[in-house]
Structure 1
């Protein structure tokens, strides 16, 4: 799950400001070490340009809030209810999407896990039939081992969710991150 998609998923919880989204994403996808402020706000600007996010007023102290548009809501629901549509899943995106989906009550994390498992299983089948040279064999073996590790992790997550569907749920944090885009009244406006 890209940062852009993670922000759409997190905005399904309601309007938020940039550093709040940053903190929520890093809290829910704990394997991520950092996400710089420049990336946060350029992502929000890009989402706004794409018509997926819109300004939603400001916080009490003037930080700009962002909310999903109707198109953004449709995309967020899709991200929270299904995994990849191809057999070339990415390990990092899988972790992000599964962990973020499992942390949001309205998501269908079990389906996201099942879809990723199916994609990694398809990837293994493709790799087993695609080894014609030693170099390809070595690369395919590495990819196969990665896919098997992903399936093992997905099975653990599926088991945890089956035992307790709320095990990874998180409420939106009430702790205010220290930084954020300057309040609207303090922002420098360029012409």
Structure 2
């Protein structure tokens, strides 16, 4: 869901086309190496079906633009103001959410960092107090170390946000990605 939520967050800056969203997502969530075009457009199609985005016309050269609907704006706002909803936070989801939120002025990155920190702290508490099987000992220790690493990184992000408010915020790149999905040709034009 982080790609979908990331796209919703990026669309708070205004309408965009698929390759533009792909480029912005990868720029802001630099830990990701690849986000393939098929994933981009299938995610956008699913978001249209879910009523989160709608057509916003086309670019000058015919690329379809997508814009948030009211439901999409609400979903983006929720993702940009709160961390995980459960005590089992995911590392990649955390990176996507924190990095993208920190890059957008309308996000509350500090609240997201605090929510993830609390979730990883709870995870450590559970792992160190509830684990009673020797078979799970190695797996629990690995998960505990991962949670401690997440907290350390979150503390660094919180310190950066505190020391330099807004320093991580990025405007949409003026550079235009080269590719994009062209609208389908009408059946009667073939």
Provide TM-score, normalisation by structure 2: 0.96
CA distance in 1: counterparts of 2:29 and 2:58, whole angstroms = 26
Q: Name the stretch that deviates more: 1-10 or 76-85.
A: 1-10
1:85 Cα offset (Å): 1.3
CA distance in 1: counterparts of 2:143 and 2:164, whole angstroms = 31
The C-alpha deviation readout for 1:24-64, integer Å capped at 9, x for no partner, is 00000000001111110000000000000000001111110
Aligned residues between the structures: 188
1:65-76 aligned at under 5 Å gives the runs: 65-76=65-76
1:190 Cα offset (Å): 4.3
Residues 5 and 190 of structure 1: CA distance in aligned 2, closer, same or farther (over 3 Å): farther
CA distance in 1: counterparts of 2:138 and 2:130, whole angstroms = 11
Gaps of 5+ in 1: none
CA distance in 2: counterparts of 1:135 and 1:2, whole angstroms = 32
SS at match of 2:117: helix
1:29-68 aligned at under 5 Å gives the runs: 29-68=29-68
2:115 alignment counterpart:
115
CA distance in 1: counterparts of 2:91 and 2:187, whole angstroms = 41
2:146 alignment counterpart:
146
CA distance in 2: counterparts of 1:91 and 1:158, whole angstroms = 17
1:175 alignment counterpart:
175
SS at match of 2:13: coil
Q: Which runs of 4+ in 1 moved over 2 A?
A: 187-191
SS at match of 2:72: helix
Q: How large is the Cα RMSD of the aligned pairs?
A: 1.1
CA distance in 2: counterparts of 1:84 and 1:34, whole angstroms = 24
CA distance in 1: counterparts of 2:169 and 2:151, whole angstroms = 22
CA distance in 2: counterparts of 1:114 and 1:13, whole angstroms = 24
SS at match of 2:92: helix
CA distance in 2: counterparts of 1:18 and 1:153, whole angstroms = 31
2:100 alignment counterpart:
100
Provide TM-score, normalisation by structure 1: 0.96
CA distance in 2: counterparts of 1:139 and 1:6, whole angstroms = 30
1:156-175 aligned at under 5 Å gives the runs: 156-175=156-175
1:124 Cα offset (Å): 0.5
CA distance in 2: counterparts of 1:190 and 1:143, whole angstroms = 53
SS at match of 2:97: helix
